[in-house]
Structure 1
């Protein structure tokens, strides 16, 4: 394999693109269920092929609670869920709210409002608290990111944006322009100009990783770029990077907020994958005691059923009445708003935020126990019910254990646990917030058994 091919293979792993390897081919070959094979073949024949989607892993037949079920009848605990599954799959409260809304007002043409949309927007401002009192809805997170970038340009009259390397903010042209993953920009040519990227706050490995694990100097680099470049209107980032689970310190985010205030740069926090409780707070920035100027949310907002997203901002930025920031056909989707209201209701009634904080302590304890036992585990990091387990070939060099991570994935799939891998070697564990303690124990047992099995196969001691 040439150096160029090696480099491409490496950066295509950044979002967990592990579906073109020999291990995936072996997984596909082992499918003995004829109906599954037929569905996978039909899928390949009719859908436009694209990286990270083709070939598919499996064919699903149903989903309920924390489980997805494939066409052969095998069930998997879903620790991935594309981050829409805070309430699991098909939560009865969400489905009932959608049914009731469908019977009355299934769609609202643009220029009309309705009670469900108003109540949903009001409720979002309530759980956000602080000064985030203005709302716009959109049919998906990528669209919300685009709206946020447009609002920032309008407010600041500056078109330049600073973002983070390795960041994902969506797959549209504007979103990949501010994103930091090369795999999404591959072959796309010129993108939106005026984007500067800086390294993310990474404690385990990274461009400026410190011996003591501190990360405030990553924030200081933002100020350096703002002062050198000039014309910066916004800084966009996830408060906690979802895919490979990078968890900055409170000091980092306090410093970021100070820098943005000092230089009149709008802070846009993309909480699309982590919002709605995954971190033990409604929204991740609340865990850091800061407030963004613009907040982007989505995915779990629709209860795992309806595509639904929202942008929240401050009253002082309600100045774009002559600008079409969104103007989407499903701008105030009655079904989406009904699903969102039901999702919030369930999280409140079942006290899921407190449950997540308790489950977080348990996962931290169990994963750190595993780290002490298995040298293949280089790092454990997480918050709430979002955890990353980084596998390495050597704890000193920190060489990424690509093959071992894949082996753990397929071992877990064989035993009924599904998750994603990011950066090729970081196992991301993000279960539904409704998971029971016993189910969590069972899932971690499956995971540890796979780690133990693969450690033996790859001669780790």
Structure 2
């Protein structure tokens, strides 16, 4: 029996929905017969869930920054589920993984292998500081679970503080520490001992500050630690990926001080943003702090192999009689070969420096767009992760849900794919390998699509009614 859910705003937090009228209209316009057939077969066999099945389209191939659907239409992929730092099918990555498959495709848990050791050593090197102990797992959600278990064991406390609006994976323990209702709705009781605090948001934050800073959000953490007691860990993304919330350095410095003062372990979830998206190997490095436990994944496998890792400090190597992970693919030679190749490519192609240059260009272009389009309420970002927040009124900051969806489908029609968060935030996260010309073309397309939808009679009508 299908349970029809109302179109609630809180369900839009993680991505664009597949249950809206705009999505239905898009599907009805689909004329390519093979695509229609594949979408029906997909919908008939896969369990339906929000933001996934029923699907938007069907893909036939992917190369570089492009994905190509079954009708032959190509899209610049500014979404990629955050695995596409190297785009798709990078030849060095394919070569290294293919060679590994032919030599050692799998390593049973009781055995090690040189590829896994090299990968762990290399991760320790690029982390720097004290982060030098590694555990691998087949996905990001899994390493979040391992990090929570390790934090409990080390601290002796099972309680954890996390942020509202956060996402740390879709398993029961991960949604327990996550802050998005779209994953918790209908799930009943979750993991006990989770306290949530507001995220450091300056554009439409829950807590205001006279000077516009975000330090008071960090102070809230200390308030909760002192009032609640028994807190073992604080978990957060260094930069919120989905709607791109970028805290200040002062915020993170204060968080680190509070955690040290109260013996609370700081867990940084860098699963979506790690491996260079911020212009640094790992996002916390942009804020000059070091977590106690770092969780990475997604792009670690080069968009080819599911691969994730938990990295911590040598002094926390104390749970020797406990299986923190115990995953079948714990030291996957194929996954580690993909991760090593990914790091090698980022180094050899100097992609971290390139990301920083691209970031300056994107910021310049988007701020200019904001000047010319009242529909844009805020621009924010870091590296190759940017948000364009659409509002129907800049004073009230009313979320422009319909306009955001209209922009998505206009851009898809023109060959640019991205995702929407919170119902009105356009998230732009291109592959790190994107060229300046490709980036310029993508932003030109985005700008034209924005003009097209703001000239649309429906938008003009809504805009006029709002100001009456």
**TM class by smaller structure:** over 0.9
Q: Does 1:224 align with 2:236?
A: no
Summarize the alignment of residues 158-237 of structure 1 with structure 2, pairs less than 5 Å apart. Answer: 158-237=157-236
Q: Does 1:94 align with 2:88?
A: no
Query: Offset of 1:213 from its aligned partner?
Result: 2.6
Q: Does 1:9 align with 2:5?
A: no
The aligned counterpart of 1:297 is 296
Cα RMSD after superposing both structures: 1.1
CA distance in 2, matches of 1:62, 1:209: 47
Q: Give the SS at the match of 2:312.
A: strand
The aligned counterpart of 1:313 is 312
Please list every run of 5 or more consecutive structure 1 residues that lacks an aligned counterpart in the other structure. none
Whether contact under 8 Å (1:17, 1:52) holds in the other structure is yes
Whether contact under 8 Å (1:202, 1:209) holds in the other structure is no
Query: Offset of 1:119 from its aligned partner?
Result: 0.2
The aligned counterpart of 1:48 is 47
Summarize the alignment of residues 140-151 of structure 1 with structure 2, pairs less than 5 Å apart. Answer: 140-151=139-150
The number of aligned residues is 457
Summarize the alignment of residues 21-32 of structure 1 with structure 2, pairs less than 5 Å apart. Answer: 21-32=20-31
The aligned counterpart of 2:35 is 36
CA distance in 2, matches of 1:75, 1:255: 45
CA distance in 2, matches of 1:214, 1:408: 31
Whether contact under 8 Å (1:279, 1:383) holds in the other structure is yes
The aligned counterpart of 1:19 is 18
Query: Offset of 1:54 from its aligned partner?
Result: 2.3
Summarize the alignment of residues 321-332 of structure 1 with structure 2, pairs less than 5 Å apart. Answer: 321-332=320-331
**Cα separation, partners in 2 of 1:5 and 1:30, compared to 1, 3 Å:** closer
Whether contact under 8 Å (1:245, 1:381) holds in the other structure is yes
Q: TM-score, normalised by structure 1?
A: 0.98
The aligned counterpart of 2:341 is 342
CA distance in 1, matches of 2:160, 2:55: 35
Q: Does 1:445 align with 2:449?
A: no
Q: Does 1:385 align with 2:389?
A: no
Summarize the alignment of residues 274-285 of structure 1 with structure 2, pairs less than 5 Å apart. Answer: 274-285=273-284
Query: Offset of 1:212 from its aligned partner?
Result: 3.8
Q: Deviations over 1:9-36 (max 9, x none)?
A: 1111011242111111110011100000
Q: Give the SS at the match of 2:409.
A: helix
Q: Does 1:405 align with 2:404?
A: yes
CA distance in 1, matches of 2:402, 2:44: 29
Q: Deviations over 1:117-156 (max 9, x none)?
A: 0000000000000000100000000000000000000000
CA distance in 1, matches of 2:137, 2:394: 44
CA distance in 1, matches of 2:5, 2:295: 36
Whether contact under 8 Å (1:204, 1:213) holds in the other structure is no
**Cα separation, partners in 2 of 1:396 and 1:59, compared to 1, 3 Å:** same
Q: Deviations over 1:254-301 (max 9, x none)?
A: 000000000000000000000000000000000000000000000000
CA distance in 2, matches of 1:55, 1:15: 17
CA distance in 2, matches of 1:274, 1:212: 29
User: Which 10-residue stretch deviates more, 406-415 or 51-60?
Assistant: 51-60
CA distance in 2, matches of 1:248, 1:228: 24
CA distance in 2, matches of 1:17, 1:366: 24
Whether contact under 8 Å (2:386, 2:427) holds in the other structure is yes
CA distance in 2, matches of 1:398, 1:343: 40
User: Which 10-residue stretch deviates more, 304-313 or 50-59?
Assistant: 50-59
The aligned counterpart of 1:264 is 263
CA distance in 1, matches of 2:107, 2:314: 25
The aligned counterpart of 1:67 is 66
Q: Deviations over 1:319-368 (max 9, x none)?
A: 00011000100000000000000000000000000000000000000000
Q: TM-score, normalised by structure 2?
A: 0.96
Q: Give the SS at the match of 1:214.
A: coil
The aligned counterpart of 1:107 is 106
The aligned counterpart of 2:363 is 364
